[in-house]
Amino acid sequence: MSSHPVFTVRDLELKLKAARLVDPAESLPTPPSSNSSGSASPPNATYEESYFLRSFDECLAIYEEPSRTKGESLALLSDEEVILLVDRGKVAPYALEKLFGMGELERAIRIRRAVVSRASNTKSLENSSIPYEDYDYSRVLGACCENVIGYVPVPLGIAGPLTIDGTSYPIPMATAEGTLVASTSRGCKALNAGGGVSTVLTSDAMTRGPAIDFPSAVLAGRAKVWVDSEEGHDVLKEAFESTSRFAKLKSLKSAIAGRTLYVRFATSTGDAMGMNMISKGTEKALETMKEHFPSMVVLALSGNYCTDKKPAAINWIEGRGKSIVAEAVVPGKVVTTVLKTTVEALCNLNIKKNLIGSAMAGSIGGFNAHASNILTAIFLATGQDPAQNVESSMCMTLMEPVNDGQDLLMTVTMPCIEVGTVGGGTILGPQQGVLEMLGIKGAHPKTPGHNSQTLARIIASAVMAGELSLLSALAAGHLIRAHMAHNRSQVNTPAVSVPVTPGPAPRP
Ligand SMILES: CC(C)(COP(=O)([O-])OP(=O)([O-])OC[C@H]1O[C@@H](n2cnc3c(N)ncnc32)[C@H](O)[C@@H]1OP(=O)([O-])[O-])[C@@H](O)C(=O)NCCC(=O)NCCSC(=O)C[C@@](C)(O)CC(=O)[O-]
Ligand SMILES: NC(=O)C1=CN([C@@H]2O[C@H](COP(=O)(O)OP(=O)(O)OC[C@H]3O[C@@H](n4cnc5c(N)ncnc54)[C@H](OP(=O)(O)O)[C@@H]3O)[C@@H](O)[C@H]2O)C=CC1
C-alpha cells in the first residue's frame, strides 16, 4: 500500500482538475481495476489509489534509476506521471519516442498530444479529429518528422491512365482541390486518343551551391580559376564521390561576387532526389579544397547558388534535378469532342496567356497554366519534398497547329523536376504503396536513377494532361462551371475554432 495521504474522491477530483489532468467539465470516470501502464495500482486498490499519482520525486527516482534503461523506467510510470516529468522539464517532449524505444512509439505520441493540449488552451487533442493511431511511426523517427502528434490524411485520387512512352500509368494525385483529378483525367483521355505522350530526359543533376569567402577578390579569383581547371575539377570530384556509392559529380559552375566565391556542384544522385547526398559530398569536397586554399572560409554549405526551394533564374536556365520535355499530338476531332474547343482557340490562348501574359507579369519559368497543381499532387502522393514544388513546377507549355491546322502539337518543357524513389518521404508506407503501383518503388535493380527518372517522366506527362484540360476549359469558358460542380463543398462551414492562448503556468 502506498504511504501517501489518502484523499477523498472529491479532493482527488479537484486536485486532478487543478492540475488539468481531467477536463474541468467532467466528473471522475469509473476507476479501472489496474492501470494500463502497469503502474501504481495494486489489485485491491481503492478508488483513490487507482487514480493516485506518485509524487514528482518518486516519479523522478523511478525515471533516473541507473540500473534500468530510460525506456524500462518510463514503462513503470503511468501516462500522467510521464506528463508530470515533461511538465517539470525532466523529459524533453520531443525526445519521447527516443526514450520510450521502438515498441512504444504510439504511446509516446499519445503523451505528447496530452502535453500539447494542456500547454495551450486549445480543444483537447485527446478527442481531436487529428488521427494518430495505426501509423508506422518507426519509419518517421529519425527520418521524416520530429515532435509528431499524428498525421494529416489527404485524399488520394487517380487520374488517367495515361500512355507514356508506350506504357500505361495510373496518375496518383493527393489533393484537396476538387476538379483537379477530373481535369487531369480528361487531359489523359485526349492525349491517349492521339497515341499518348513521348518524353525526353535532357539532363539529370541535382545541385548545391556553397558560399565561400576569401580575404580578397584576388584570392577568390585564384580559387575560381582552380575550380574551373581540369586539376581542380578532378580533385573536387574525387573527394565528392568518396562520400556516396551513387552521387557522381557531373559539372561545376562558379561565380564571384566581391570576395565571395559560389560553386554550383551538379551531380547525378541515382534514384534519390539527392539533397542530403549532394550536401554530404559538397562538404567533403570543400574540406579538400581548403587544403589548397587555407585562407578560404566556407560561409555556408548552401549559398543559394543551388537554388533549393526558392524561385531562381539559374534553375530555369541551367536545370536542376531531372530536365524533361514531353510531347504529344492531339487529333483535332478529339479537341472538339473531348475538350469542347478548337485547335485554333487553344493555340491562341496558349500564346496570349501562358507566353505573353506570363511575360507581362515578369515570370521566371511560369509559362504554364497550373503545372504546380499536378506536380504537387503527385509529389504528395509519392513522398517527395513538397517545398521543392517551387522550382520543380517551372514549366513552359507550347502549342502549335499541325497537319494543316487540323491537329494540335503540344509540348511541356520542365527543367527542374526534383524527385526520388528512395530516401526522404518515399520510405513511408502509403507513399511507397503509390510508388509500387507505378512500378518504381525504391532503387532500380540494374540502373540507378531509372526509377526516379521514370517518375519525372510521369510527372511531366501528367502536367501536360492538366495543362491541356484547363486551357480547354478556359478557352470554352467552362472553368467556373466545373469548380461549382466539383470544388464547392455542401457540408456546413465549421464553427470558428477557439483561438490558441497561453496555457496555464507549469504545475508547482
Ligand atoms: C537540428 C538542430 C535544431 C539541432 O540544433 P542543436 O543546437 O544541436 O540542438 P540542441 O540539442 O542544443 O537543442 C536546441 C533546441 O532545438 C530544438 N530541438 C533540438 N532537437 C530537437 C528534436 N529532435 N525535436 C524537436 N526539437 C528539437 C529544441 O527546441 C531544443 O531546445 P530544448 O527544447 O531542448 O530546450 C539544428 O542543427 C538545426 O536547426 N539545423 C538546421 C536544419 C534545417 O533547418 N533543415 C531544414 C531543411 S534544409 C532544406 O530543406 C533547405 C536548404 C538547406 O537546401 C535551403 C538552402 O538552400 O538554404
Ligand atoms: N540536407 C539538405 O540540405 C536538404 C535535405 N532535404 C531532405 O533530404 C532528404 C532526401 O535526401 P536524399 O539525399 O535524396 O536521400 P537520403 O538522405 O535518404 O540518401 C539516400 C540514401 O539511399 C542510398 N541509396 C540506396 N540505393 C540508392 C540508389 N539506387 N540511388 C540513390 N541512393 C541510393 C544512398 O546511398 P549512399 O549512402 O551510398 O549515397 C543514401 O544512403 C529529404 O528528406 C529532403 O526533404 C531537402 C533539401 C535540402
pLDDT at residue number 499: 56
Closest ligand by atom to 309 CA: 1
Query: Which tens digit of pLDDT belongs to each residue from 56-88?
Result: 999 999 999 999 999 999 999 999 999 999 999
125 Cα: distance to centroid of ligand 1 (angstroms): 25
Q: Is-contact 489 498, C-beta < 8 A?
A: no
Residue stretches of the chain with pLDDT short of 50:
1-50, 506, 508
pLDDT of 22: 46
Cα distance between residue 383 and residue 422, in whole Å = 9
N residues, the chain: 508
pLDDT at position 498: 60
pLDDT of residue 483: 78
Burial 153-178 (b: 16+ CB within 10 A, else e): eeebbebbbbbbeeeebebbbbbebb
Backbone angles phi, psi at 367, to 5 degrees: -90, 55
Determine the distance separating the centroid of ligand 1 and the alpha carbon of 116, expressed in angstroms: 19
Cell 489509489 sits on residue: 49
276 lines ligand 2 (CB under 6 A): yes
Which ligand is the nearest neighbour of the Cα of 302?
1
**pLDDT at site 150:** 97
Is the backbone peptide bond immediately before 294 cis, with ω within 30 degrees of 0? no
Question: Can you give the pTM of this predicted structure?
Answer: 0.89
**CA-to-CA dists, residue 444 to 95, 234, 281, 357, 383, angstroms:** 35, 28, 22, 41, 17
- CA-based nearest residue to 96, from 86, 126, 452: 86
Ligand 1 contacts CB of residue 306 (under 6 A): yes
Cβ 378 vs Cβ 173: under 8 Å: yes
Supply the pLDDT for residue 268: 97
* Other residues' Cβ atoms within 10 Å of the Cβ of residue 182: 16
Other beta carbons less than 10 A from residue 292's beta carbon: 15
Please work out whether the CB of residue 104 comes within 6 Å of at least one atom of ligand 2.
Answer: no
Closest CA to 189 of 369, 338, 402: 338
Distance 429 CA to ligand 1 centre (A): 25
CB-ligand 1 contact for 477 (6 Å cutoff): no
Which atom, in ligand 2's list, is nearest to the CA of 208?
A: 3
Nearest one of 192, 180, 201, 164 to 370, comparing CA atoms: 180
Angle (CA) 446 452 457, round 5°: 115
From the CB of residue 110, how many other CB atoms can be counted at a distance below 10 Å? 19
Q: Is 390 in the pocket of ligand 2 (CB under 6 A)?
A: no
> For residue 353, what pLDDT is reported?
98
> What does the DSSP 8-state code read for residue 198?
E
Q: What is the pLDDT of residue 450?
A: 98
Task: Report the pLDDT value the prediction gives residue 503, as an integer from 0 to 100.
Answer: 52
Count of C-beta atoms within a 10 Å radius of residue 500: 10
pLDDT at 505: 52
β partners of residue 266: 207, 251
Alpha-carbon distance of 69 to 468, in angstroms, equals 60
Q: Which three cell numbers stand for residue 134?
A: 495505426
- Identify which of 431, 440, 479 has the alpha carbon closest to the alpha carbon of residue 458: 440
Give residue 109 CA to ligand 1 midpoint distance, Å: 20
Q: CA 461 to CA 198: how far, in whole Å?
A: 8
For residue 207, give the 3-state DSSP assignment. strand
Rounded CA separation 314/300 (Å): 19
CA-nearest of 440, 396, 429 to 415 is: 396
Peptide bond into 415 cis (omega under 30): no
Catalytic positions, please? 177, 309, 385, 483
The three grid cell numbers given for residue 337, joined into one nine-digit string: 469532342
CA distance 60 to 78: 13
Give the CA radius of gyration of the chain: 29
